[in-house]
Amino acid sequence: MAKKVKFTNANKSAFYATVRSRVDTYFTENELSTFANGQMWFKTCFFLSGLLATYLLILLGNLSLPVMLLLAILLGMFGAFVGFNVCHDAIHKAFSRYQPINKIFSFVFNLIGASPYVWNICHNIVHHTYTNIAGHDEDIDVAPGLIRFSDSETVNKVQRYQHFYAFILYSFAMLSWVFRKDYKKFFQKKIGEHVLTHPKIEYFKLFFYKGIYYFLFIVLPLMIIDITWWQFLIGFLVMQFSQGLVLGLVFQLAHVVEGTSFPNPDSYGNIEEAWAEHQMRTTANFAIDSKLTGFLCGGLNRQIEHHLFPKICHIHYPAIGGIVKETAAEFGLPYIESSTFGAALVSHYKTLRKLGKETYAENKYINKSSCLFTRKVSAAYL
């Protein structure tokens, strides 16, 4: 049975205190705010305008079906980019020092199909604390039984081919988020080992804001656009698949690549390393020298900096990245990175293959004996 995880900092590492002090000094000496700057506001206007313009073109443009299909793909991609570049920072309260501004941009998350309240719990609280720890970080609990992300899980015949079909399943990520994930997570008793208690208003918000999304992206298009129901369905699914694929790839390339670890706590629930060191071992960067990748991904290609400093706006990550990398080297900690998006994609493919096909070939009964023992013990007490 999973226990609450504690990071014991057994070696009394001063890594986080050191890197935080150096990053704080950078902002102080350069008289910079850790929040959004002019460049960040430009990105915000660009992506929000792109999302709105694409939506209105589909709704009111009276365009040909092939053009509308291309716009549906673009709309899905813009939805992902708005989530990466605007909402993600806002929900972390890293966009602005003024909380009403963070709340406004957090609300936009509802308009791209996801609940900011549920995301805050799943991502900010659980994932950022218990990164890559099976049973605690539900971000690695993707399609259970179909995709194996952790060495502590069992393996089955189907997962021998996960390095092929995983990328198809990622395309369903947003569709699941819109119609299933938020409801499921909200009504669970726990997310990981985090016990849930929701304010009553959040029950109303969940269904009300989902209703707004369904109206904007299902009801209104069917009312206005002169297309058949099946033509709409194709466009809607294409939008969801393109958004889901972009989201799935970016999220997985940050934590499930060669070099990242999936540590297990001991029988007392302890992880015998400092929290910040844990982040260095479970998180990876990719394509940090690509301005286009940085512009589109909203700093999520610099997950190391993000996990250490989630309340600093992502626009500053390139500037503090050198500080983090240099400090990690001083303390003998890994700084996992792939030089390009393609290299990260290959690394993710190899990791999926290792955890699926290669593990099954080596030991198809891996972890099953302990699971069987657990079930027998549980049955004895029922």
pLDDT the model gives residue 375 = 45
- Say whether pLDDT at 381 is over 50: no
Average pLDDT over residues 164-182: 95
**Would you say residue 1 has pLDDT above 60?**
no
Which tokens in the block code for residue 46? 């660009």
The residue with greater pLDDT, 40 or 3, is 40
Comparing CA positions, the residue from 311, 304, 240 lying closest to residue 80 is: 240
Band the pLDDT of 290: cuts 50, 70, 90. very high
pLDDT attached to residue 138: 78
CA distance 274 to 14: 9
Taking alpha carbons only, the member of 56, 101, 99, 102 closest to residue 75 is: 56
* DSSP code for 273: S
Close Cβ partners of 129 (under 8 Å, ≥ 6 residues apart): 5, 275
pLDDT digits (tens, 9 = 90+) for 42-69: 999 999 999 999 999 999 999 999 999 9
User: pTM of the prediction?
Assistant: 0.91
Judged against a pLDDT cut of 80, whether residue 175 lies above it is answered with yes
Task: Check whether 278 has a pLDDT greater than 70.
Answer: yes
pLDDT of residue 152: 84
Distance CA 317, CA 312 (A): 8
214: Cβ contacts below 8 Å, ≥ 6 apart: none
Most confident of 126-140, 188-202, 298-312: 298-312
The residues facing 337 across adjacent strands are 285
293: CB partners within 8 A, 6+ apart:
286, 287, 301, 341
Is the predicted pLDDT of residue 377 greater than 90, yes or no?
no
Q: What is the mean pLDDT of residues 337-352?
A: 97
Residue 241 reports pLDDT greater than 70? yes
Judging by DSSP bridges, how do beta strands 270-271 and 6-7 pair with one another? parallel
Confidence of residue 3 (pLDDT cuts 50, 70, 90): low
Four-CA torsion 284, 289, 294, 299, nearest 10 degrees: 40
| Residue 2 pLDDT grade (very low, low, confident, very high; cuts 50, 70, 90) | low
**Across residues 98-124, what is the average pLDDT?**
96
Distance CA 296, CA 81 (A): 6
User: 99-136 burial, b if ≥16 CB within 10 A, otherwise e?
Assistant: eeebeebbebbbbbbbbbbbbbbbbbebbbbbbbbbbb
From residue 103, how far is each of 60, 69, 88, 91, 99 by CA, in Å?
A: 29, 33, 11, 8, 6
Q: What are the pLDDT digits (tens) for 126-161?
A: 999 999 998 888 777 788 889 998 888 899 999 999
Tens digit of each residue's pLDDT (9 = 90 or more) over 356-374: 999 999 999 998 865 444 4
Q: What is the pLDDT of residue 144?
A: 83
Instruction: Assess whether pLDDT exceeds 80 at residue 295.
Output: yes
Q: What is the dihedral of CA 314, 49, 247, 228, to 10 degrees?
A: 170
Q: Identify the residue whose tokens are 């939008």.
A: 239
Q: Per-residue pLDDT tens for 200-225?
A: 999 999 999 999 999 999 999 999 99
pLDDT higher than threshold 70 for residue 376: no
Q: Which of 79-93, 128-142, 143-157, 322-336 shows the lowest per-residue confidence on average (mean pLDDT)? A: 128-142
Percent of the chain topping pLDDT 90 = 81
Q: How crowded is residue 45: how many other Cβ atoms within 10 Å of its Cβ?
A: 11
Contact 261, 282 (CB under 8 A): yes
With tokens 């009801």, the residue in question is: 219
